[in-house]
Amino acid sequence: MTLFPVPKGPTMSLSNAILRGVSGAYLLQSGYGKKDLPTEAAAGLQQFAATGVPQFKEWDADTFGKFVAYSEMGIGAALLTPFVNKRLAGLALGAFSAGLLAMYFRNPDMTQEDGIRPTEAGTGLSKDAFLAAIAAALVVSK
């Protein structure tokens, strides 16, 4: 008998730890790099984001910059925190990656004539399909 028993909770599989660790660290670093964006840079990011989510045009550029930075850091932290349910973390990552992919698919400069394959300009955003796949894996895994 122990004086302070440790409750048995759900364990995290190695595959889930890898999916969460890689994507979480990436988003945490990406958001941290955006947290002090100058207004001009935030406005450029906002204009580009508005191609996928038109409502972003109505936001103040600085507010939008902070929103993106803290969203990325929050989702990254949720992915890296073991006690956050994997499905909840996966849903947050899925919503974020859906926004990124909306920018990709709604911007004709990002895709070739077929509307799927990336142009040279779209390659950077097309890789965000991997984040969507990781999100799906976290949501549906047992």
Nearest of 86, 75, 63 to residue 32 by alpha carbon: 75
| CA dist 74 → 28, 30, 52, 53, 123 (Å) | 7, 11, 21, 20, 25
pLDDT class of 6 with cuts at 50, 70, 90: low
pLDDT of 1 strictly over 80? no
Position 43 in a domain: yes
Q: Are 105 and 115 in contact (CB under 8 A)?
A: yes
Domain count, the chain: 1
pLDDT class of 104 with cuts at 50, 70, 90: confident
| CA dist 102 → 53, 56, 80 (Å) | 7, 13, 25
pLDDT for the residue numbered 128 = 85
pLDDT class of 52 with cuts at 50, 70, 90: confident
Position 1 in a domain: no
Position 87 in a domain: yes
Position 38 in a domain: yes
Position 136 in a domain: yes
Position 118 in a domain: yes
Q: Which domain holds residue 78?
A: 21-140
Element (H, E) at 115: none
Q: Mean pLDDT for the chain?
A: 90
Q: Which residue stretches of the chain are H helix?
A: 14-34, 39-49, 61-80, 86-106, 123-126, 129-140
Residue for token pair 């969507």: 132
pLDDT in tens, 108-134: 888 999 988 999 888 888 888 999 999
Position 41 in a domain: yes
Residues 6 or more apart from 83 whose CB is under 8 A from it?
A: 9
pLDDT of 9 strictly over 60? no
Say what the alpha-carbon torsion angle 105, 109, 112, 113 is, to the nearest 10 degrees: 90
* Lowest mean pLDDT across 5-19, 66-80, 99-113: 5-19
Position 69 in a domain: yes
